[in-house]
Amino acid sequence: MAKKKGITVLIVIGVSLAVIVTIYSLSLYIVKGIKPFSEGVGIIEVEGVIYDSKDIIKTIKDFRERNDIVAVVLRVDSPGGGVAAAQEIYEELKKLSEEKIVVTSMGGVAASAGYYISLGTNYIVANPGTTTGSIGVILQGLNFAGAMDSLGIKGMVIKSGKFKDTGNPFREMTDEERAYLQDYIDNIFMQFVKVVALERKLSQDKVLEIADGRILSGEMALKLKLIDELGNMEDAIDKAAEMAGIEGEPRIIYPVKERDSLLSILLSDMKTEFVDGVLDKLMDNSFRTEYRLVQ
């Protein structure tokens, strides 16, 4: 009997604490002028090198379906990344920006692919010192030909076409192969230029004048009409709320993060910096086409 009473007391205490926390949280919203469960501004954060678009696109789609999110701030702090990943994110942001207000807030770096995805939003805000721009494409790989020759090791390749092993790290690239890859890069580069010209309402010739891979400060980008305003994250949130017609201080909504499983945590801990970095680069002989700052 005493045990049952103890359990009942614990339940009552737990419920009471939950009610107190709820009332306290609601009071904070009221003090700040924020209506609980009202329309808010969703925050999508893109940090680091962009190679995988899956999680970002999932968040974009989730926010597009939520009725309580009427505006979104895309917080970008990225030196760039893969071409395909950037294009996929850009396309989904375009769809979102057709239904809701989407404002980009550029952090320390929003260059190359980081700038590319920002073009899919309605408005771009950058800090004066943000590193942005770097409009261009890079294709790079490793070449072991000299080292292999010194060791007396020769590679062997059987291929179906003359360009099938272009970039083979065990031999020098031919002039024909270099020209072929340059045509490929030029095509992807012009895709970038056309998107900048379209979204920033600039002529392609104007974009080409600065699309040589150069980095720009936020202040420089504003003068060149590559962004819309100088400001920080809070300024971007205020702008998004204003454009969406939200009165008072907006409610800020972050995506719900999924918890990692115990297995994934253990596997992650087992990885070493060597395996993740140097070894991966040595084992991956393929070229990677990127909109990215070289670091």
3 belongs to the catalytic site: no
Q: pLDDT-derived band of residue 142, with 50, 70 and 90 as boundaries? A: confident
Please check the confidence at residue 13 and state whether its pLDDT lies above 90. no
Active-site pick, 32, 58, 162, 164:
164
Query: How confident is the model at residue 248, as a pLDDT?
Result: 87
Whole-model pTM: value is 0.79
Active-site pick, 53, 78, 97, 112:
112
Q: Does domain 39-144+175-292 have CATH number 3.40.50.300?
A: no
Please check the confidence at residue 82 and state whether its pLDDT lies above 80. yes
Q: pLDDT-derived band of residue 28, with 50, 70 and 90 as boundaries? A: very low
164 belongs to the catalytic site: yes
HEC string of the chain equals: CHHHHHHHHHHHHHHHHHHHHHHHHHHHHHHCCCCCCCCEEEEEEEECCECCCHHHHHHHHHHHHCCCEEEEEEEEEECEEEHHHHHHHHHHHHHHHHHCEEEEEEEEEEECHHHHHHCCCCEEEECCCCEEECCCCEEECCCCHHHHHHCCCCCCCCCCCCCCCCCCCCCCCCHHHHHHHHHHHHHHHHHHHHHHHHHCCCCHHHHHHHCCCCEEEHHHHHHCCCCCEECCHHHHHHHHHHHHCCCCCCEEECCCCCCCCHHHHHHHHHCCHHHHHHHHHHHCCCCEEEEECCC
Please check the confidence at residue 128 and state whether its pLDDT lies above 60. yes
Q: Average pLDDT, whole number, for the chain?
A: 84
Write out pLDDT tens, residues 34-70.
Answer: 444 568 999 999 999 999 999 999 999 999 999 999 9
